């Protein structure tokens, strides 16, 4: 079994506001859920930060059942589109999640969730190494999934445990979602060492979240750049959290001023602040900035995780050896995933990356061997930790509004949408906000007379930057 839960027996595994599940209880419930599903089945696990979702995930991984980790906030239309693409045999979701699920047989009710049997007669075959499927393009509803193997999960978990020095006395909190590789890696690593996880769906903006942090003596807090921006607004530096000793950050590059402020706070208070770098294509993590370097290397991403290696390559694919020279960042490691799936037929495919992942990020390496991300080669943004494919957003807008001339650009946590039809502008932000579950303040729609194009007719996205603050 991947998770050796029984060896931790009565140790608290999951701590809720008014309930505690010991490792034995988590094991028993995970076995009950998995026992209703044949091995090598494909299951859509509609993720929520609940003990039931965690138990289902653990049971599925332990018994060779392959879960697709689906955001519970995913639009119903997009969810049904994924169902059509992948033909899962089962769905595990909270009770009354989607009305259309009532048409399926309910085989198990447990801890506020339901296992639905879709009675799929012609499921797609699954490769023996396939353990898990994760979304890669945030909330855009793309059918593209990342195929993760059992070896990927093992390598990534062991590496994070090592560089964060995790042990059984740790207590993390589920302030990040389980369908997101960062949130899932927190769960994986803590269960691997017999530590505890405080389970909540409360946000940083709930007073009860901070009460839970204190009452349950949470030792570590994880967040994306938006999290840290909000922590500063919430006067985190003045909070009394005596048990907290580790802060980790990933999901996009942190603003350099915020990096410096949190590094200084950690140094003043004897805490650890760890900036990290990763992607779903690398299971979760590829690089980290050792906490002792958090101040000296402000703005840097750091070095490769234990067991991994970075390289920089130029446009011709040749490796760059000189310091302070920008190139595309390439990662090598056992946690590099098998490849993508764009439909059910791809689930039978094996390892297509062979331990090498071209990140699409541009970086430079200083004389000490520390890497700094300086830009992106490909058109993605991190929207509050979710990677969003701008090309897919454009496609969705054209599908919704007709063949509108549209271009999407922006910076992490803020998407700019440009159209040449002025009448459409008022409708775009409400549509995308509802479709993707993004707050309207993260989106700006603007009219411009003409989308900038080059001689071959391709959009010149860098020229759109002049309109960001107009």
CA end-to-end span of the chain, whole Å?
Answer: 56
Give me the pLDDT at residue 147, please.
98
Provide mean pLDDT across the span 167-196.
97
Give me the pLDDT at residue 138, please.
44
Band the pLDDT of 2: cuts 50, 70, 90: very high
1-123 and 149-329+349-377 in the same fold = yes
Residue 365 predicted with pLDDT over 70: yes
Residue 382 predicted with pLDDT over 90: no
Band the pLDDT of 390: cuts 50, 70, 90: confident
Band the pLDDT of 139: cuts 50, 70, 90: very low
Q: Judge: domain 149-329+349-377, CATH 3.40.50.12780.
A: yes
Residue 296 predicted with pLDDT over 60: yes
Model confidence pLDDT, tens digit, residues 98-123: 999 999 999 999 999 999 999 998 99
What is the model's pTM?
0.84
Instruction: Specify the CATH number of the domain 1-123.
Output: 3.40.50.980
Model confidence pLDDT, tens digit, residues 405-461: 899 998 888 999 999 999 999 999 999 999 888 889 999 999 999 998 765 566 778
Give me the pLDDT at residue 458, please.
67
Residue 140 predicted with pLDDT over 70: no
Model confidence pLDDT, tens digit, residues 11-24: 999 999 999 999 99
Give me the pLDDT at residue 455, please.
57
Model confidence pLDDT, tens digit, residues 62-83: 999 999 999 998 889 889 999 9
Give me the pLDDT at residue 253, please.
85
Give me the pLDDT at residue 142, please.
67
Q: Of 64-78, 299-313, 365-379, 448-462, which gets the smallest average pLDDT?
A: 448-462
Above pLDDT 70, what percent of the chain? 97
Give me the pLDDT at residue 375, please.
75
Band the pLDDT of 190: cuts 50, 70, 90: very high
Give me the pLDDT at residue 383, please.
83
Residue 165 predicted with pLDDT over 60: yes
Provide mean pLDDT across the span 186-207.
96
Provide mean pLDDT across the span 227-248.
96
Instruction: Specify the CATH number of the domain 380-467.
Output: 3.30.300.30
Provide mean pLDDT across the span 241-265.
94
Residue 237 predicted with pLDDT over 90: yes
Residue 248 predicted with pLDDT over 90: yes
Give me the pLDDT at residue 461, please.
82
Give me the pLDDT at residue 96, please.
87
Residue 89 predicted with pLDDT over 70: yes
Can you give the residue ranges of every domain in the chain?
A: 1-123, 149-329+349-377, 380-467
Q: In whole numbers, what is the pLDDT of the chain averaged over residues?
A: 93
């Amino acid at each position: 079994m991947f998770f050796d839960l029984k060896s931790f027996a009565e140790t608290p595994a999951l701590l809720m506001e008014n309930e505690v599940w010991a490792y034995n209880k988590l094991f028993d419930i995970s076995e009950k859920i998995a026992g209703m599903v044949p091995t090598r089945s494909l299951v859509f696990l509609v993720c929520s930060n609940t003990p039931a979702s965690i138990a289902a995930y653990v049971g599925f991984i332990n018994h060779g059942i392959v879960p697709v980790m689906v955001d519970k906030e995913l639009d119903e239309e997009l969810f049904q589109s994924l169902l059509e693409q992948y033909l899962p045999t089962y769905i595990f979701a909270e009770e009354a999640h989607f009305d259309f699920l009532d048409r399926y047989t309910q085989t198990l009710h447990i801890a506020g969730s339901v296992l639905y049997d879709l009675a799929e007669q012609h499921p797609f075959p699954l490769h023996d190494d396939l353990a898990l499927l994760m979304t890669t393009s945030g909330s855009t509803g793309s059918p593209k999934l990342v195929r993760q193997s059992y070896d990927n999960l093992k390598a990534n978990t062991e590496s994070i445990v090592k560089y964060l020095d995790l042990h059984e006395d740790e207590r993390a909190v589920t302030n990040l979602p389980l369908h997101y590789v960062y949130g899932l890696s927190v769960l994986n690593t803590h269960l691997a060492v017999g530590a505890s996880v405080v389970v909540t769906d409360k946000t940083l903006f709930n007073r009860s979240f901070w009460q839970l942090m204190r009452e349950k003596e949470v030792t570590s807090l994880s967040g994306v750049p938006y999290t840290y921006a909000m922590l500063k607004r919430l006067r985190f530096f003045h909070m009394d959290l005596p048990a907290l000793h580790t802060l980790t950050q990933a999901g996009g590059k942190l603003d350099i001023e915020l990096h410096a402020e949190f590094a200084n706070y950690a140094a003043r208070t004897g805490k650890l602040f760890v900036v990290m770098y990763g992607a779903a294509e690398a299971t979760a993590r590829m690089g980290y900035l050792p906490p002792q370097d958090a101040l000296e290397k402000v703005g840097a991403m750091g070095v490769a995780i234990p067991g991994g290696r970075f390289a920089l390559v130029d446009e011709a694919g040749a490796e760059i050896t000189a310091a302070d020279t920008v190139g595309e960042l390439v990662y090598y490691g056992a946690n590099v995933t098998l490849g993508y799936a764009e439909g059910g037929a791809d689930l039978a495919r094996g390892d297509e990356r062979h331990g090498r992942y071209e990140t699409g990020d541009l970086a430079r390496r200083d004389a000490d061997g520390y890497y700094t991300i300086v830009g992106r080669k490909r058109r993605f943004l991190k929207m509050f930790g979710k990677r969003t494919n701008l090309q897919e957003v454009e496609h969705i807008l054209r599908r919704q509004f007709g063949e509108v001339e549209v271009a999407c650009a922006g910076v992490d946590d803020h998407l700019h949408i440009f159209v040449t039809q002025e009448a459409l502008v008022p409708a775009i932000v409400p549509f995308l906000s509802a479709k993707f579950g993004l707050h309207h303040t993260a989106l700006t729609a603007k009219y411009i007379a003409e989308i900038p194009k080059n001689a071959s007719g391709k959009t010149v996205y860098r020229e759109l930057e002049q309109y960001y603050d107009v």
